[in-house]
Amino acid sequence: MKISIIILNYNVKYFTDACLQSVLKAVTDDDVEIIVADNNSTDGSRQYFEGRYPGVKFLWFEQNYGFGKAYNKAVAQAQGEYLLFLNPDTLVSEDILKQFKEFARNHPGLGIAGGKMIDGTGNFLPESKRGIPTPVAALSKLTKLYKLLNFKPFNTYYASYLNENETGEVPVLTGALMFMKKSVFESAGGFDEQFFMYGEDIDLSYRILKAGYKNYYLPKAKIIHFKGESSRRDAGYYRNFLKTTFQFYRKHFRSFPPLEFMMRQYFKLWLKLRLKKSEISKKNIDIQQVYLIGTIKNDKNLKKHYPGLQRIKTPDEIIIKPALLIFDTGVLSFSQIINFMEDYKNQNIYFRFYFPSVKLLTGSDYKDALGDVVLI
């Protein structure tokens, strides 16, 4: 079972580098190829990666093709029987390929498989599993009615009827983490290129469902997703969310103008409140102590940047808070890191990930925060 892992980079070279390092830890045999497709980045990505990862195939596009078209072009050069699409701002657990391969072997009717995503704070991302974004479901998502009315059709946008730790069928998986057979992807026609960014994953999931396949959510396949880095949660993002919702609905269902009008009016008010709330929430965190789980060598290196750094063995040793906890990825597995994050989330502990081979520190401190990058 040969797998082609495809990562799409656009002006996020440091996050792509971190993602690649986690992916390489997950690759245990020669039956995997890694492809990085670059959408004409202007941040020096090409110069940065030249000669850095000789086993990785880089595709340097001469223009920004958007999400779907760039992935289609990369798939055309992929040799794998299976495809794994990954966002560049993700870190994967070491056993993720094993989880997907075993599940695929036992489910011949598999369409798309997705996994459990947590953000940079260790909290579960509900978009790990989703439903069809009908106008009612989308309105429920915008108004957060799904939290109060946990029954269909209100709880379908995030497939809330399925527990985050429960394997099961779901209609839609996110493009940040998609595993499927290449023949299934091609038989469905690949990503619809009329969706430049946002909505391609929903559309593909739905078309694969209509073709008779089943899509599954696998909580044992875990990744960290620094939401906000590859797609910034600004006014443009939310307008695109509404636009692609209607675009998808008109493509697959009959349009209902009165409901669309009502949603647009509500959305204008909601957007003002949402952006105002985002401005209020973006405040500095007064870190009192910095800790490291890692080696003495990296302890000395990081102390130049964080003079009061303390080295510990487990987060249980953290006494002073708010605390910044640095995980040394040269010592810890990403599976261990993910477990620590889930166990110690929401405890006034903020996480960073240190990549000693490139002296890179990454992380994010709240759900929609842009990822933080520090060169040590």
Give the DSSP per-residue string, 162-182. Answer: S-TT--EE-SB--TTEEEEEH
Q: Looking at the structure, do residues 213 and 297 belong to the same domain, yes or no?
A: no
Q: Looking at the structure, do residues 198 and 309 belong to the same domain, yes or no?
A: no
Whether residue 142 lies inside any domain: the answer is: no
What does the pLDDT read at residue 29?
A: 85
Share of the chain above pLDDT 90, in %: 68
* CATH number assigned to the domain comprising residue 348: 3.40.50
Predicted TM-score of the model (pTM): 0.89
pLDDT digits (tens, 9 = 90+) for 30-48: 899 999 999 999 999 999 9
Q: Looking at the structure, do residues 215 and 319 belong to the same domain, yes or no?
A: no
Q: Looking at the structure, do residues 221 and 324 belong to the same domain, yes or no?
A: no
Q: Looking at the structure, do residues 199 and 315 belong to the same domain, yes or no?
A: no
DSSP state of 279: H
Domain encompassing residue 306: 289-375
Whether residue 282 lies inside any domain: the answer is: no
What does the pLDDT read at residue 237?
A: 63
Whether residue 369 lies inside any domain: the answer is: yes
pLDDT band at 238 (very low <50, low <70, confident <90, very high): low
> Smallest Cα–Cα separation from 89: which of 173, 172, 18, 5?
18
What does the pLDDT read at residue 275?
A: 62
Q: Looking at the structure, do residues 295 and 205 belong to the same domain, yes or no?
A: no
What does the pLDDT read at residue 195?
A: 75
- Compute and round to an integer the Cα radius of gyration of the chain: 21
* CATH number assigned to the domain comprising residue 34: 3.90.550.10
What does the pLDDT read at residue 250?
A: 74
> Smallest Cα–Cα separation from 292: which of 338, 337, 247?
337
What does the pLDDT read at residue 315?
A: 98
Range ranked top by mean pLDDT from 105-109, 131-135, 154-158, 254-258: 105-109
Q: Looking at the structure, do residues 33 and 171 belong to the same domain, yes or no?
A: yes
Number of structural domains the chain divides into: 2
Q: Looking at the structure, do residues 191 and 299 belong to the same domain, yes or no?
A: no
pLDDT digits (tens, 9 = 90+) for 128-166: 999 987 767 777 776 777 777 676 766 778 888 899 999
Q: Looking at the structure, do residues 201 and 94 belong to the same domain, yes or no?
A: yes
Whether residue 275 lies inside any domain: the answer is: no
pLDDT digits (tens, 9 = 90+) for 189-215: 999 988 767 789 999 999 999 999 999
Whether residue 278 lies inside any domain: the answer is: no
Instruction: Among 196, 212, 228, identify where a domain stops.
Output: 228
Q: Looking at the structure, do residues 190 and 64 belong to the same domain, yes or no?
A: yes
Q: Looking at the structure, do residues 81 and 189 belong to the same domain, yes or no?
A: yes
Q: Compute the distance between CA of residue 243 and CA of residue 206 in angstroms, rounded to an integer.
A: 18
Contact 141, 158 (CB under 8 A): yes
Q: pLDDT: is 37 or 366 the higher one? A: 37
Whether residue 256 lies inside any domain: the answer is: no
Judge whether residue 19 has pLDDT over 90.
Answer: yes
Report in angstroms the alpha-carbon separations of 66 from 22, 45, 146, 266. 25, 17, 31, 29
Instruction: Among 228, 261, 279, identify where a domain stops.
Output: 228
Q: Looking at the structure, do residues 75 and 211 belong to the same domain, yes or no?
A: yes
Judge whether residue 99 has pLDDT over 50.
Answer: yes
Instruction: Among 177, 198, 228, identify where a domain stops.
Output: 228
The vertex-176 CA angle with 144 and 68, nearest 5°, equals: 105
Q: Is 4 helix (H, G, I), strand (E, B) or coil?
A: strand
Q: Is 213 helix (H, G, I), strand (E, B) or coil?
A: coil
Judge whether residue 232 has pLDDT over 60.
Answer: no
pLDDT band at 87 (very low <50, low <70, confident <90, very high): very high
Share of the chain above pLDDT 70, in %: 85
Whether residue 149 lies inside any domain: the answer is: no
Kindly state the average pLDDT of the residues 114-141: 88
Contact 92, 26 (CB under 8 A): yes
pLDDT digits (tens, 9 = 90+) for 272-317: 666 665 554 555 789 999 999 999 888 888 998 999 999 999 999 9
What does the pLDDT read at residue 280?
A: 44
Whether residue 120 lies inside any domain: the answer is: yes
What does the pLDDT read at residue 60?
A: 98
What does the pLDDT read at residue 296?
A: 86
Strands 3-9 and 32-38: parallel
The vertex-337 CA angle with 331 and 342, nearest 5°, equals: 165
